[in-house]
Amino acid sequence: MELVPTLLTDPGVLRSAQSFVAGTLGKEPITAGDRSGFVVNALLVPYLLSTVRMLESGYASAEDIDRGMEGGCAHPMGPLRLCDLIGLDIVAAAAGALYKEFKEPLHAPPSLLSRMVESGLSGRKTGRGFHAYA
């Protein structure tokens, strides 16, 4: 779990939060700087967006991309299934926040992702995203 102190956070408050997260919640706390994406999304979102761009360009199918990362990198699920699980709307919003702060072109949501979100295809929660769900 990412803990994000601001410039004004008292060190004692951070220590209390770390104890609560580790002791009460049983999670592993990490401390991240107060910026868009923190640690996990700053690394994950560009990877997911690259995957969408790969699909959009016709380089490989959604199934092959996911199977490739599951088998080739031992990921528990492929990146497009992960997008579906997170929610395409959430992935697009996270990408937008990263792009707004850093102006990095790789953070901009790909057209395919934006069109899917606009069409109501948000992944598992809507029954369809990069894959179909019953």
| Contacts of residue 38, Cβ cutoff 8 Å, sequence gap at least 6 | 2, 4, 32
What is the CATH number assigned to the segment(s) 40-126?
1.10.1040.10
CA distance 24 to 36: 27
Tokens standing for 43? 């690394």
Determine the pLDDT at residue 27: 98
Q: Which DSSP category does 106 fall into?
A: G
134 residues of the chain, pLDDT tens digit each: 999 999 999 999 999 999 999 999 999 999 999 999 999 999 999 999 999 999 999 999 999 999 999 999 999 999 999 999 999 999 999 999 999 999 999 999 999 999 999 999 999 999 999 999 98
CA–CA separation, 40 vs 64, rounded Å?
Answer: 25
For position 134, what pLDDT does the model report?
86
**Residue for token digits 């979102």?**
45
Q: What are phi and psi of 132, to 5 degrees?
A: -100, 145
CA distance 107 to 105: 5
What's this model's pTM, rounded to 2 decimal places?
0.91
Please classify residue 119 by burial: count the beta carbons closer than 10 Å to its beta carbon, then call 0-12 exposed, 13-18 middle and 19+ buried.
exposed
C-alpha 132: how far from its chain's center? Answer: 20
**CATH 1.10.1040.10 spans which residues of the chain?**
40-126
What the block records as the tokens of 93 is: 């919003």
Neighbour tally for 49: CB within 10 Å: 24
pLDDT of residue 108: 97
